[in-house]
Chain A
Amino acid sequence: MSMTTISDCEKISDEELVGLVVSDQAYFVYIINRYQEKLLRYIKRISNVRHEEAEDILQDIFIKVYKNINDFDVDMKFSSWIYRIAHNQTISNYRRSQARPQISDNDISDLSFLNLKSDFNIIDDIDQKHLKIKILKILDLMEEKYREVLFLKFFEEKDYKEISDILKKPMGTVASLVNRAKKMFREKLVQENLKLY
């Protein structure tokens, strides 16, 4: 590793770190450290595979990131690019296994859950855990294209541009998908007898 110190590496931007990785493989560990927890959580959210399998997928993702590091486009956020690889790898993995992903409430943090709850103005007159389970059940029933945008928007807190870069869809399409997803989600909330403000 060159003159850049460990503390420097922790402070610099993803894009600068990528530049260092291109010249010295050893800097790749910093990218792994920055993203492994987020991506592991994301893999489990959208596929609900076992922890061990999620780690295998995570490894494949980082290998892919490393192999394609020269393809990173500086016009895009690095987080969008790595999430795109993570998304594609996870989807292709569960399509290969032909298992319908089922979401577990363990993989949804309280903060993400609160984001969703406040956006849909859900009155929480029932136990939080039960409310979470109901919401996750609704998400599970939704079509993949709507579920993935809701996850990226509410659980990964990505904005429309980032979602557009991750899913490789025009921003207008993303906005339209999010609106339709929210509408469907609201309808299902009512069907599940969940009260809204």
Chain B
Amino acid sequence: MENSISEKILNKIKKEHIMPRPRWHYQFKTVCLWGSGLFALLIGAAAFSVIVHILLYNDWDLYRYIDKNIISFTLLTLPYFWIIFLFIFALIIHFNFRHTKGGYRYPMFVVMFSVISLSMLLGTILCFLGVGQKIDYILKDSMPIYSRFINKRPLLWMEPRNGRIGGFITKIEPEEKFKLKDFQGREWLVFYHNAKIHPMAEISINNRVRIIGEEDVDNEDEFYIFNARLIFPATHLGPNFEKMLPSGECFGPNFPIKKSCIFH
């Protein structure tokens, strides 16, 4: 048996001209594995930078006007999409790592914990470099679905019936009033003589604000009217929020926008 098996094998190797795969083949595979792993790590870190950005500017100062308590508000506004996205990329990195030469020696929870921790560390740095904000704004501008389903914060400031509107100031009117263009492009006349104004909020043209108050539902004018109780700054809600609407139907070249044009 000894001779016949080794003979058969050696003959087969000679006959079929079987050659060992060259070393560079394995080196290339290793480079690809580590390269794609690092790329996935960067994507995970970018995702975490968006998570940090969203959580930093999550209307914590006004949560009681949005939801019942801090816990339900947190559950409502957590960036689930980005958390799942981060987790998926952590799994990809784990898969890559497991296929490296010694990667299988480490338990999954150790790898996942290390990967997520590293993503969080890098992501935090990226957030403070402005990457998270940039990604959030770019996606808001280019994908209407993003604001509808992924980062719904701007939508929270399009609920006048629930006492919340947000937008930028277009004109200052006498007797403590100003005109506001909201995140849907509707124009409001805001009365603020009874409002408390946050020290960081400035009532001046082009400034963005968040307003807590009541809509004047009995108003029959062509303008929407809102009575402000609280005015807060809103610079973190993105520079080009007009593009967030799913369709351009509510816009027109002429203002004021008609009351019948309602965003759904």
User: Does A36 contact B22, Cβ atoms closer than 8 Å?
Assistant: no
Closest B residue by C-beta to A171: B105
Binds A, one of B1-9, B72-80, B244-252: B1-9
Within 8 A of B (CB), among A12-65: 22, 25, 28-29, 32-33, 36-37, 55, 58-59, 62-63
Contact A170 B20 (CB under 8 A): no
17 additional contacts (CB under 8 A) given A63-B12, A170-B104: A28-B10, A32-B9, A33-B6, A36-B2, A36-B6, A59-B8, A62-B9, A66-B18, A68-B21, A70-B25, A73-B101, A164-B104, A168-B104, A170-B105, A171-B105, A172-B107, A173-B107
A interface, over-half SS: helix
Docked CA distance A66–B20 (Å): 6
Q: Which residues of A contact B102 (CB under 8 A)?
A: 73, 75
Q: Give residues in B with beta carbon < 8 Å to A.
A: 1-2, 5-6, 8-10, 12-13, 18-23, 25-26, 101-102, 104-107
Those of A153-195 within 8 Å (CB) of chain B: 164, 168-173
9 A-B pairs with least C-beta separation: A168-B104, A32-B6, A70-B23, A170-B107, A69-B20, A71-B26, A62-B9, A29-B6, A73-B101
Q: Is A67 an interface residue (CB 8 A)?
A: yes
Contact with B along A121-141 (1 / 0, CB 8 A): 000000000000000000000
The answer to whether A68 touches B20, judged by C-beta atoms less than 8 angstroms apart, is: yes
**Residues of A with C-beta under 8 A to B19:** 67
Given the complex, which residues of A lie within 8 Å of B6, measured CB to CB? 29, 32-33, 36
- Tell me the complex Cα distance, A101–B106, Å: 30
Q: Which one of B1, B6, B19, B102 has the greatest number of beta carbons of chain A within 10 Å?
A: B6
CB distance from B254 to the nearest CB of A (A): 68
Q: Which residue of B lies closest to A61 (CB)?
A: B9
Q: Is the interface of B mostly helix, strand, loop or mixed?
A: helix
Q: How far is the CA of A20 from the CA of B10 in the complex (A)?
A: 16
Residues of A within 8 A of B26 (CB): 70-71
A171–B1 Cα gap in the complex (Å)? 36
Closest CB of chain A to B203's CB: distance in Å?
Answer: 62
A168 and B103 CA atoms in complex are apart in Å by 9
Chain B residues, CB < 8 A from A171: 105
A interface residue numbers (CB < 8 A to B): 22, 25, 28-29, 32-33, 36-37, 55, 58-59, 62-63, 66-71, 73, 75, 164, 168-173
Nearest chain-B residue to A30 (Cβ)? B6
Known pairs A25-B13, A36-B5, A63-B9; A70 contacts B107 (CB<8 A): no
Q: How far is the CA of A70 from the CA of B105 in the complex (A)?
A: 21
Q: Find chain A residues with CB under 8 A from B20 CB.
A: 22, 66-70
Considering only CB atoms, which chain B residue lies closest to A73 in the complex? Answer: B101
CA separation between A63 and B23, bound complex, in Å? 17
A-chain residues with CB within 8 Å of residue B106 when the two chains form the complex: 170
Of A28, A36, A67, A71, most B-chain CB atoms within 10 Å: A71
Chain B residue with the shortest CB-CB distance to A55:
B5
- Ordered by A's residue number, 12 sampled pairs between the chains whose C-beta atoms are within 8 Å are A29-B6, A33-B6, A36-B2, A36-B6, A59-B9, A66-B18, A66-B20, A67-B20, A70-B25, A164-B105, A170-B105, A171-B105
Q: How far is the CB of B31 from chain A (nearest CB, A)?
A: 14
Complex CA distance for A171 and B9, rounded to whole angstroms: 34
Which of chain B's residues have a CB closer than 8 A to the CB of A63? Answer: 9, 12-13, 18
Closest approach, in angstroms, between the C-beta of A41 and any C-beta of chain B? 12
Bound complex: CA A171 to CA B110 (Å):
13
CB distance from A42 to the nearest CB of B (A): 14
Contacts of A66 in B (CB 8 A): 9, 13, 18, 20
| Shortest distance between the CB of A175 and any CB in chain B (Å) | 11
Query: Are B5's CB and A58's CB within 8 A?
Result: yes
A59 contact set on B, CB distance < 8 A: 5, 8-9, 12
How many Å from the CB of B33 to the closest CB on chain A? 13
B25 to chain A: which residues have CB within 8 Å?
70
B2: chain A residues within 8 A (beta carbon): 33, 36-37
Chain B residues lying within 8 Å of A169, measured Cβ to Cβ, are 104
The answer, among A29, A68, A172, A173, for a CB contact under 8 Å with B10, is A29
C-alpha spacing A37/B1, complex, angstroms:
9
